[in-house]
Amino acid sequence: MRPNLVWFRDDLRLTDNPALHAACAGGAQVICLYIFDATPSLRQLGGAARWWLQDSVAKLAGALEKKGGKLIICRGDAPMIIEKMAAAGAVGEVFWNERHVPAAATLDESIARLLALRDIPLHRFNGSYLNPPSAITNSTGGPFKVFTPYWRAVLRHGVSATPLPAPEKIHKADWHADPQSMPVFPASPVPVSMPWMDRLSQSWQPGEKAAHQTLETFLENALHGYASRRDFPAGGTTSRLSPYLRHGEISPLQVWHALEIARHTGGAPQHDADKFINELIWREYACHVLHHFPSLSLESRDRSFDLIPWRNEPEQIQAWQQGRTGFPLIDAGMRQLWQTGWMHNRMRMIVGSFLVKHLLCDWRIGESWFWDTLVDADQASNVFGWQWVAGCGFDASPFHRIFNPVLQSERFDPKGHYIRTFVPELAHLPDQLIHTPWKAPPDLFEDNGRICYPRPIVDLAAGRERALNALKIAKSQTTY
């Protein structure tokens, strides 16, 4: 009998991996495959995600070896690689967990047709979400366009499945990839050379083991009080699970059940667990929306935004990217992103609002920067989040809701702990000046006559007024 093929994608784990679990059932021989997919139709991963992927795939390979398996790592065009394996008669049945980003889902359908032509059975599973994006529908059977009804529908639907254990034993198939016909990379699937990536290892440890350690730390130290403290960027007030969920080193089902256990055993107050579950469902909703409306990857839901005269000033965009805007909270968030590959959720909203509204830059510029610099860069969540903060997406924050970075700073970082961590040149300022350093006396603001921190690159009131006028003009020109 020909061996089963398990194709790992966004599910780099052994536990609660339904495709792997099914492929190993009955002691079948298994080929484990990972492809760093260079198929032209797919959006290629950004630099930070590639860094994460390199380590995560290596950790997966090691975990499979401990169970008796072997991970074959390839780089190239996925349909071509699968076709070569099928043509070589190496594959009996194929197992994978579904992908739902439109381009990846379309690619999977083409590979499914290829397998069907060769009479190779394909088994698909849901391994990345609590519910596939098509499983939750409104009263007419269509997609939800507002989050709250979707959230209620998910809670009514419930989660009946329980996480699967890792296979006790993986029976490795006696098959080796031919390097003449398949681009095999036995050590590293992703060439990573950007110097700034060296800093990421100081903040993160990719892999399934680290994912569960992160979840345990969150449950023990941060879940209690999560609902009231989650908006404050200083300190360990969030789970930091997003990159592990993104790369599938832990499943949302495992997180859900851990929260249920914590809630029922008194490990966390009801409202704290509920609030975090709400965040899990928000992630699901982003996928639900992009699945049903794939054009959102490139287009604003509100097409009047296409008529806004975006300024897209290169020098201001660069100042935003580098954390040199002159607004300490904005700069702290952007430097946290550059140094760690991650940014606190409220900070993502604040820096996004500043770019789109105060600087009047197209939301796609920010989305692209986040895609390259976030270790948790997920296409559905990234696009949905940017359209939400810009005011042009589904159930979005209205455009006239423009975050004032000074007021946000005073409210959510009142003592300046977050600012002092990531903007150390301001650490010496007293609390009353940390949010508005341009008001500081010259002797506090300069170092031997050299300005050590930039003046604000935009007047907040003028920038706000300019943004509102730009949208008003665009709306007046829109015809539906």
Residue 223, pLDDT above cutoff 70: yes
Ranking 82-86, 221-225, 445-449 by mean pLDDT, the lowest is: 445-449
- Write down the catalytic residue from 313, 345, 410, 425: 345
- Write down the catalytic residue from 83, 278, 310, 425: 310
pLDDT confidence tier of residue 444, bands split at 50, 70 and 90: low
Burial tier of 353 (Cβ tally within 10 Å: 0-12, 13-18, 19+): buried
- Write down the catalytic residue from 65, 83, 279, 299: 279
Q: Which two tokens stand for residue 33?
A: 């495959």
Of the chain, the percentage scoring pLDDT greater than 90 comes to 80
Supply the pTM of this predicted model: 0.95
**Residue 247: predicted pLDDT:** 98
pLDDT in tens, 301-329: 999 998 999 999 999 999 999 999 999 99
Mean pLDDT across the stretch 108-126? 96
- Write down the catalytic residue from 363, 369, 371, 388: 363
| Residue 404 annotated among the catalytic residues of the structure | no
Mean pLDDT across the stretch 330-352? 97
Mean pLDDT across the stretch 433-462? 82
pLDDT in tens, 183-218: 776 545 555 556 667 789 999 999 999 999 999 999
The 10 Å Cβ neighbour count of residue 266 is 7
| Residue 282 annotated among the catalytic residues of the structure | yes
Q: Which carries the bigger pLDDT value, residue 327 or residue 440? A: 327
Specify the CATH number for 303-473; select among 3.30.360.10, 1.10.579.10, 3.90.1150.10, 2.60.40.10.
Answer: 1.10.579.10
**Residue 185: predicted pLDDT:** 65
Domain boundaries, the chain: 4-128, 129-162+208-292, 303-473
Q: Which amino acid is at 104?
A: A
Q: CA 414 to CA 409: how far, in whole Å?
A: 7
Residue 159, pLDDT above cutoff 80: yes
Domains 4-128 and 303-473 fall in the same CATH topology: no
pLDDT in tens, 399-426: 889 999 999 999 999 999 999 999 999 9
pLDDT in tens, 4-41: 999 999 999 999 999 999 999 999 999 999 999 989 99
Q: CA 271 to CA 149: how far, in whole Å?
A: 19
Query: By C-alpha distance, which of 327, 357, 142, 129 is closest to 246?
Result: 129
- Write down the catalytic residue from 65, 175, 278, 282: 282
CATH of domain 129-162+208-292: 1.25.40.80
| Residue 342 annotated among the catalytic residues of the structure | no
CATH T-level fold of 4-128: Rossmann fold (3.40.50)
Q: Average pLDDT over the chain, rounded to whole?
A: 92
Residue that the structure tokens 């506090």 belong to: 444
pLDDT in tens, 352-388: 999 999 999 999 999 999 999 999 999 999 999 999 9
Residue 449, pLDDT above cutoff 70: no
**Residue 452: predicted pLDDT:** 80
Q: CA 388 to CA 148: how far, in whole Å?
A: 14
Mean pLDDT across the stretch 145-149? 96
**Residue 28: predicted pLDDT:** 93
Q: What stretch of H or E contains 281? A: helix 270-292
| Residue 371 annotated among the catalytic residues of the structure | no
- Write down the catalytic residue from 51, 204, 256, 386: 386
Of the chain, the percentage scoring pLDDT greater than 70 comes to 94
Mean pLDDT across the stretch 107-111? 97
Residue 346, pLDDT above cutoff 90: yes
Q: Which residues have a Cβ under 8 Å from the Cβ of 161 and sit 6 or more positions away?
A: 253
**Residue 180: predicted pLDDT:** 66
| Residue 363 annotated among the catalytic residues of the structure | yes
The 10 Å Cβ neighbour count of residue 7 is 24
Q: Which residues have a Cβ under 8 Å from the Cβ of 357 and sit 6 or more positions away?
A: 399, 402, 463, 464, 467
pLDDT in tens, 52-95: 999 999 999 999 999 999 999 988 899 999 999 988 888 999 99
| Residue 310 annotated among the catalytic residues of the structure | yes
**Residue 445: predicted pLDDT:** 61
